[in-house]
A = this chain, B = another copy of it.
Amino acid sequence: MDLAASVGSRLKELREARGVSLSALARRSGVGKATLSELESGRRNPTLETLYALTTALDVPLSSVLYDPAHPATISGDAVDAVLLERFEADTSVTETYRIRIRSGATQESAAHAPGTTEHIVVLAGTAHVGDVNDPALIGPGAHGSWAADTPHVYRAPAGDVEALLVVRCPK
């Protein structure tokens, strides 16, 4: 996937999640409507200045629109849709926060990640069956679970779609 296109769609996600129109964001950020329109559709290669104006208007750190193809943390699969909300890089670890949906009745297994990787989930709606492949936990709305992700683990929605936040933390 093209870099500009992925940044564009990420910007669009953030804008729409806040219920802001393209015109309104352009006005607030001082960026031209033409620029923003073509940027969101991936037809432009934005400058740093433009990106900064937009991310500050959206109140997110600049880094949160930068998908990094070097670390393809694509969790999305048959059963899980994931949208990256934020990425935080510390001295010794990288933490990514995703908004995920597990489709009703579906199960997704994930292979072991890098050693030392851990995951957290906070379930927003529905009941999920997640965690170690041999001992997944049942987690209901408002509850939290965590597990080591350096062994195979599973995401399952036994009854009804599950909406959740997933936090993946892996050492560098």
A residues lining the B interface (CB < 8 Å): 3-4, 7, 17, 45-49, 51-52, 56, 59-64, 66, 68, 70-72, 74, 83-91, 93-95, 97, 99, 118, 120, 122, 124-125, 141-142, 144, 146, 163, 165, 167, 169
Contacts and interface: CB of A to CB of B under 8 A. Distances in A.
24 contacts: A3-B48, A3-B49, A4-B48, A45-B49, A46-B47, A46-B48, A47-B47, A47-B48, A59-B72, A60-B85, A61-B70, A61-B89, A61-B94, A62-B66, A62-B68, A63-B63, A63-B68, A63-B89, A64-B89, A95-B122, A95-B124, A97-B97, A97-B165, A165-B167
Given A49-B4, A95-B124, A88 B144 contact: no
Contacts of A169: 124, 142
Contacts of A93: 141-142
